[in-house]
């Protein structure tokens, strides 16, 4: 006859061993690490804080990542991958360079608005002079499609006589990035000194309209720089 202890043991439901989802665990680490690096910068972020928020041990984190630098590089890779995904969502006609450029610029602005952490990550990486992303084996490849698209649109617009002949795709990209990111990265100080809420939906809507217009106003201005200077100078001269 079985003892009371054995009967009690049989009644107790034994929990199955917990199976760790490696992909989910890596994703959680990267998500929380992104928040920590964006909020505190590379130097200020601490592995201790990350594992505490992840509710795991350091040993487990180091099972997935070799160290703080390796973790940060993957955080940056994840951020650039999100930007590439956004760019891949753009539907381009291939026939209307001005319309396609407007769509591309709009998506770039929307990405910065929806991912302000990306701007913070870029800021801390620039303090380190891009030391970490240069070690990445994938970021350059992720960025190439955007570069290729921008080059093609500028060249196509020039060939069709829609864009000015002296437009340079590098200048265009830097201008788009600056116009798209500056009002996000400085939204709190600008809101204070300008006495306006730049985070309001109305202001964001205006910005989404304004940036593509500025870019296209430059690209579609067919007058040569020297001619513009002569015309401006002539208009500024006092009448005799």
pLDDT tens column, 7-25? 445 444 544 445 458 889 9
pLDDT surpassing 70 at residue 39: yes
What percent of the chain has a predicted confidence (pLDDT) above 90? 74
Position 55 scores a pLDDT of 93
Closest by CA position to 139, among listed 118, 113, 108, 155: 118
Distance of CA 36 to the CA centre of its chain: 16
pLDDT in tens, 104-121: 999 999 999 999 999 999
pTM of the model: 0.81
What percent of the chain has a predicted confidence (pLDDT) above 70? 85
Position 4 scores a pLDDT of 52
Lowest mean pLDDT segment, chosen from 87-91, 201-205, 216-220:
87-91
pLDDT in tens, 47-68: 999 999 999 999 999 999 999 9
Class of domain 69-223: mainly alpha
């Amino acid at each position: 006859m079985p003892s009371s202890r054995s009967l009690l043991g049989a009644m107790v439901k034994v929990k199955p061993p917990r199976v760790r989802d490696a992909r989910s665990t890596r994703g959680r680490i990267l998500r929380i690490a992104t928040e920590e690096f964006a909020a505190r910068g590379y130097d200020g972020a601490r592995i201790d804080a990350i594992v505490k928020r992840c509710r795991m041990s350091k040993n487990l984190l180091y099972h997935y990542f070799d160290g703080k630098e390796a973790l940060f590089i993957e955080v940056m890779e994840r951020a650039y991958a999100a930007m590439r995904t956004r760019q891949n969502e753009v539907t381009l006609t291939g026939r209307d360079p001005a319309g396609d450029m407007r769509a591309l610029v709009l998506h770039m602005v929307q990405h910065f608005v929806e991912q302000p952490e990306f701007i913070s990550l870029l800021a801390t990486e620039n303090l380190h002079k891009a030391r970490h992303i240069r070690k990445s084996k994938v970021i350059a490849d992720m960025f190439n499609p955007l570069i290729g698209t921008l080059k093609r649109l500028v060249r196509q617009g020039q060939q069709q006589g829609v864009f000015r002949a002296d437009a340079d795709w590098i200048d265009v990209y830097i201008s788009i990035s600056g116009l798209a990111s500056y009002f996000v990265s400085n939204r709190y100080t600008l809101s204070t000194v300008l006495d306006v809420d730049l985070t309001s939906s109305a202001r964001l809507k205006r910005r989404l309209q304004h940036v593509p217009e500025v870019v296209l106003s430059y690209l579609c201005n067919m007058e040569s720089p020297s001619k513009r200077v002569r015309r401006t100078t002539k208009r500024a001269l006092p009448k005799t």
